[in-house]
């Protein structure tokens, strides 16, 4: 296994949830870690708790900003893209407008930006890790746009693994993970997540660190490329 000691790791969407957990684990493993997101408030909270990680404000759709960040770092050993990067409309397909459906694909365009902007700074044996989600392969009603975007992220990963070799690219597909994504549920959050996961083999929501450890595996296992790694408590089982 490759070591992360003194490796340059960039996490786009690294100020909350899965991305923040990844930044923390990589830092604990000895990496130099840059983590970005849009909200100054989230950055202030994360910086205070994790002073060893270099947090900054950036939108995944800001190409100039991404290029400037990568150029400032110089060489990138591992880049992780997990910013949600899009508004998603969770409605049946026929109740969504074309514009709403199209908007969900901003996540894919954000990931594409990261890859294009990082490319010239990647070391010869660098890794890229993207984050999709179980709806890519098992969608409940109302999740058609999430499903299509997730599938596209997984297909992009397989295609780029051939084009970008020997650099490696993998995708991690989380199930339901207890992150900032569910903050809007307020005090109903825990009960709702419990209900949503009651029929899984592992009857609970996942923790961000459980997904982050899979992302660290894709970074450090030099023989993994084009792979989709599921961390979902058994969600995808028939
Ligand atoms: N949690 C789940 O159950 C679950 C399930 C399947 C897949 N996923 C996927 O996992 C990934 C991480 O989600 P999470 O659950 O960890 O969510 P989260 O806690 O809300 O974290 C999302 C991170 O992305 C950043 N972000 C969002 N939009 C951005 C943009 N346009 N530019 C830059 N940064 C942006 C957020 O910061 P700012 O908002 O401040 O920018 C934050 O740092 C997402 O791709 C999500 O679709 C999550």
Residue 226 has pLDDT above 90, yes or no: yes
Residue 32 lies in a domain: yes
The model's pTM: 0.98
Which pairs with CB-CB distance under 8 Å and at least 24 residues apart come from 102-109? 104/145, 104/146, 104/148, 104/149, 105/145, 105/148, 105/149, 105/152, 106/61, 107/83, 107/149, 107/153, 108/149, 108/152, 108/153, 108/156, 109/61, 109/85
pLDDT at residue 124, rounded to an integer: 97
Domain that residue 94 falls in: 8-231
In the predicted model, is pLDDT for residue 1 greater than 90?
no
Find the DSSP H helices in 50-143. 63-73, 98-103, 106-118
**pLDDT tens across 212-224, in order?**
999 999 999 999 9
Residues in the chain, how many?
Answer: 238
Asked whether 75 and 7 are in contact (CB, 8 A), the reply is no
Instruction: Kindly list the strands in the beta sheet with 228-231, ordered across the sheet, starting from the edge strand earlier in the chain.
Output: 54-57, 32-37, 8-12, 76-81, 122-131, 168-174, 228-231
User: Which residue owns the Cα nearest ligand 1 atom 46?
Assistant: 84
> What is the distance between the alpha carbons of residues 199 and 189, in angstroms, rounded to a whole number?
17
CATH number at residue 103: 3.40.50.720
The 8-class DSSP code of residue 206 comes to B
Residue 143 exposure: Cα atoms within 13 Å on the Cβ side:
13
Burial of 80 by CB count in 10 Å (0-12 exposed, 13-18 middle, 19+ buried)?
buried
Once rounded to an integer, what is the mean pLDDT over residues 132-142? 97
* Position 1 in a domain: no
For residue 235, the model assigns a pLDDT of: 98
How many angstroms separate the alpha carbon of residue 31 from the centre of ligand 1? Answer: 22
**For the segment 90-131, what is each residue's pLDDT rounded down to a tens digit?**
999 999 999 999 999 999 999 999 999 999 999 999 999 999
How many structural domains does the chain have?
1
Q: If you average pLDDT over every residue of the chain, what do you get?
A: 97
| Residue 133 scores a pLDDT above 90 | yes
Ligand 1 atom closest to Cα of 134? 6
What is the arithmetic mean of pLDDT over 184-197? 95
Confidence (pLDDT) at 236: 98
State pLDDT tens for residues 12-51: 999 999 999 999 999 999 999 999 999 999 999 999 999 9
Q: Taking the CB of residue 139, how many other CB atoms lie within 10 A of it?
A: 17
Alpha carbon nearest to ligand 1 atom 26, residue? 83
237 assigned to some structural domain? no
Q: Is residue 160 part of a domain?
A: yes
Residue 204 banded pLDDT, cuts 50, 70, 90: very high
How far apart, in whole angstroms, are the C-alpha atoms of residue 123 and residue 149?
Answer: 28
Q: Does residue 233 have a pLDDT over 90?
A: yes
Q: Is residue 238, in this structure, part of any structural domain at all?
A: no
Ligand 1 atom 41: the closest Cα is on which residue? 38
- Ligand 1, residues 14, 15, 17: which to mutate, most atoms within 8 A of Cβ? 17
User: Residue 222: CA atoms inside 13 Å, Cβ hemisphere, count?
Assistant: 9
Residues in the ligand 1 pocket, defined by CB under 6 Å? 13-19, 37-39, 42, 59-61, 82-85, 110, 131, 133, 174, 176-177, 179-181
Residue 183 carries which DSSP code? G
Does any domain span residue 2? Answer: no
Contact present, 171 and 143 (Cβ < 8 Å): no
Banded pLDDT at 147 (limits 50, 70, 90) = very high
Looking from the CA of 168 toward its CB, the CA atoms found within 13 Å total: 21
- Residue with token string 């009857």: 203
Asked if 121 and 58 count as a contact pair (C-beta separation under 8 A), the reply is no
In terms of C-beta density within 10 A (0-12 exposed, 13-18 middle, 19 or more buried), how is residue 114 classed?
buried
Q: Ligand 1 pocket check: which of 16, 89, 107, 147 to mutate, most ligand atoms within 8 Å of Cβ?
A: 16
- Give a yes or no: residue 59 inside a domain: yes
């Amino acid at each position: 296994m490759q070591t992360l000691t003194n490796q340059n790791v960039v996490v786009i969407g690294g100020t909350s949830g899965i991305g923040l957990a990844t930044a923390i684990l990589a830092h604990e493993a000895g990496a130099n870690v840059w983590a970005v997101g849009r909200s100054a408030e989230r950055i202030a909270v994360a910086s205070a708790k994790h002073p060893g990680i270099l947090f900054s404000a950036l939108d995944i759709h800001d190409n100039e900003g991404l290029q400037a960040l990568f150029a400032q770092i110089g060489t990138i050993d591992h880049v992780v893209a997990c910013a949600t990067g899009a508004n998603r409309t969770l409605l049946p397909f026929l109740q969504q407008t074309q514009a709403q459906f199209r908007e969900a694909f901003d996540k894919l365009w954000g990931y594409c930006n990261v890859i294009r902007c990082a490319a010239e700074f990647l070391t010869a044996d660098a890794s890229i890790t993207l984050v999709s989600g179980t709806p890519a392969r098992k969608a409940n009603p109302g999740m058609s746009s999430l499903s299509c975007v997730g599938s596209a992220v997984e297909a992009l990963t397989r295609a780029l693994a051939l084009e970008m070799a020997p650099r490696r690219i993998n995708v991690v597909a989380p199930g339901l993970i207890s992150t900032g994504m569910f903050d809007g549920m307020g005090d109903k959050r825990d009960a709702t997540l419990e209900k949503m996961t009651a029929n899984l083999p592992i009857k609970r929501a996942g923790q961000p660190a459980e997904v982050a450890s899979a992302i660290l595996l894709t970074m450090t296992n030099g023989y993994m490329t084009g792979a989709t790694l599921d961390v979902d408590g058994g969600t995808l089982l028939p």
